[in-house]
Structure 1
């Protein structure tokens, strides 16, 4: 019983009914225009041929539907129909708002949807108008002073004789039944339109593929920006944290060193601001020519800054770093930056060895440091995991390799990038 009465109380039944009526309302101007034009043509062709409005309406149905279908080629029609369907018929994921398609197949599907909508909607509108009018007449029969004309003008099921008491009592019940029939019919037609909407208004296979490609590109761009933030801002904030902590500890015993540490904090803050401005420019799709693009030419500055934080960096750079391709040089700098930052973050100011070997077709970089006793069990986990994952992503895009792990009490980070095909 609950399932049987569900269409009567379900909100979607009435929103879909409104959608059907709107289709009928939209169809009326098309039908009237074609009917008037056809009646004029028939009237000019033969006397009396265009005297029947009903015949003109029937003949005008086909061209009116063709005109409705042709509106699918107007810009914005498919988008408007999608909004209307999602508001009144169904919010199925398949009926989603996308870019206005210009393919012929999509326009044909939109045209078919419009034709189905207005034709079914026109029939539903006529049934609604006639059915509700008859239901109102039947309901009024019970209290009308002269119900004979009302009830005979509505239905002839009571015969030609004046209605009796039983017929007057039955008339409102019949009207209520008629309204129920209309509601169930509207629910059935609405459910049909809800099933057709994803098929005719939903994205095609090509559009779904394009949407998936766009989402993949968006996610890739977001990951790239996340790596930029982690590598640049993360390094600067780690340096600031270490320098500020050191200055706080020695500010009374060694004011000169504390002053130097605070100056370094100021320098790192400026670098972080510049890097952040660069990333924000990327988010706003601004391409600033002055945006910082640090590469291996800045490696010595990075090493000196790390030494200033208290780490004993033993650097060994062999080969011409200026001959390294730009993108490889930038990504290698980021790997060195992330590796040194991880050392400072997890091990503190410990001795670090940095080896960089640059060849004609490839380069290798290794960063190693002793693993502190207290953190040897969990080294490389926690916050450093995101950095290692970002480095692997960078190297993966360039076809490089990365290995990282503890060995004989030392943590080693090794990366290799080849920019020329060995064959």
Structure 2
């Protein structure tokens, strides 16, 4: 039963009829080009008195002119995309799984496709006209009077115009066979076009390379966004957790401190909301004016003060003008500082911290240190975009170095970045 189903599939599948329509459209589009080419060829080759019939020279020249007109049309911007959209909608097949073209520039392959579409479309249109006409004549054979009125019909090939009753009854069945043969031919032609379309209408190697670069850029942007979300929200949640625990512990004994802690929790929540809005703005592809600019080293003092409000004993020293640091390095150094403080708050709570930033004309150095909690071993977290590994990835992408290692009594993180001096 399965082979039979496969055999009649072209007769029942919607692909056959969509591709039939696509071919007929090609045949219809060829007619204006053919008529214009014939008129031009007649005018060019005409010698002597005018005649109603085209000359042999005109008939020979017309196909060349027709091809030239089609090629010129294919070079019009937008024709290539129009062909691609029409083929995706009606031919479908492998073309629907190929990447969209990134440019609207015409190509030689698209020109070849337009010629192929129009030529095969004309063949399919003529076959449709002939086959359906002959099928109609066969179908009405039992109803025609004697002698066979449709003397030009296919049954006259049997040798005479007078049909026997058996020949008349066979007409409708032969009509079905003619239509089926037409559908199989259309299905085969459409299948060949659908298989060819990706090679002629798909993106060029240059466009594929550009798409690959764009995809890689998108992945890199997602990775950067994931790191930003991890750093900003992770820091805010760590600070909120510590301050909430401190406020709960001191609510009865030191209500003023508890009130300040709750105020700082609200500040951290607002900061986290702003950072989240910035990240979502990137995802929405808003314009830069619609997004809050990300924090940089000019906000490092605010970060240190917010960390102090958790009850942590933080000592920080900033040497040099942070405004002279290139924007990208300034933002990433701030994120690394934020992640370093978050790690310290999470893994060594209630331990004193020291943050030192030294900015020179062409480099900067960041140190973050904290004593190790008693009877604990230092732990590092791994994974792309998280913990020490994420900070090292950032430093490496910026052309710098980041080390994070324990000593017998302290955990020390050191970041060093360099850049060219601008004048």
Asked if these proteins are the same fold (TM beyond 0.5), I'd say yes
Please give the alpha-carbon distance, in whole angstroms, between the structure 2 residues aligned to 1:358 and 1:47: 93
Query: What SS is found at the alignment partner of 1:156?
Result: helix
Q: CA RMSD in A?
A: 3.4
- Bigger Cα displacement from structure 2, 48-57 vs 113-122: 48-57
* 1:141 to 1:404, Cα distance in 2 relative to 1, 3 A: farther
1:45 alignment counterpart: 47
Please give the alpha-carbon distance, in whole angstroms, between the structure 2 residues aligned to 1:169 and 1:374: 102
Query: Unaligned 5+ residue runs, structure 1?
Result: none
* 1:40 to 1:275, Cα distance in 2 relative to 1, 3 A: same
Instruction: Measure how far apart 1:252 and its partner are.
Output: 3.7
2:240 alignment counterpart: 240
- 1:31 and 2:34 are equivalent in the alignment: yes
Decide which of 17, 20, 24 is 2:23's aligned counterpart.
20
- Bigger Cα displacement from structure 2, 89-98 vs 298-307: 89-98
Q: Any conservation in 1 of the 2:295–2:331 contact (CA below 8 Å)?
A: yes
- 1:64 and 2:66 are equivalent in the alignment: yes
- 1:197 and 2:197 are equivalent in the alignment: yes
* 1:174 to 1:54, Cα distance in 2 relative to 1, 3 A: farther
* 1:387 to 1:11, Cα distance in 2 relative to 1, 3 A: farther
Q: Any conservation in 2 of the 1:251–1:258 contact (CA below 8 Å)?
A: yes
Instruction: Measure how far apart 1:137 and its partner are.
Output: 1.4
TM-score, length of structure 2 as denominator length: 0.84
2:164 alignment counterpart: 164
Q: Any conservation in 2 of the 1:281–1:288 contact (CA below 8 Å)?
A: no
Instruction: Measure how far apart 1:215 and its partner are.
Output: 2.1
Please give the alpha-carbon distance, in whole angstroms, between the structure 1 residues aligned to 2:91 and 2:323: 62
Please give the alpha-carbon distance, in whole angstroms, between the structure 2 residues aligned to 1:377 and 1:141: 96
Please give the alpha-carbon distance, in whole angstroms, between the structure 1 residues aligned to 2:85 and 2:294: 44
Instruction: Measure how far apart 1:298 and its partner are.
Output: 3.5
Q: Any conservation in 2 of the 1:78–1:100 contact (CA below 8 Å)?
A: no
User: Which residues in structure 2 correspond to 1:242-391 (within 5 Å)?
Assistant: 242-279=242-279, 282=282, 283-288=284-289, 291-292=292-293, 294-315=295-316, 317=317, 319-320=319-320, 322=322, 325-327=325-327, 328-356=329-357, 362-369=363-370, 380=381, 386-391=386-391
Instruction: Measure how far apart 1:25 and its partner are.
Output: 0.8
Please give the alpha-carbon distance, in whole angstroms, between the structure 1 residues aligned to 2:191 and 2:290: 56
Instruction: Measure how far apart 1:77 and its partner are.
Output: 0.7
Query: Unaligned 5+ residue runs, structure 2?
Result: none
Q: What do the CA deviations read for 1:286-319 (whole angstroms, capped 9, x no partner)?
A: 334995454444433322321210222244x475
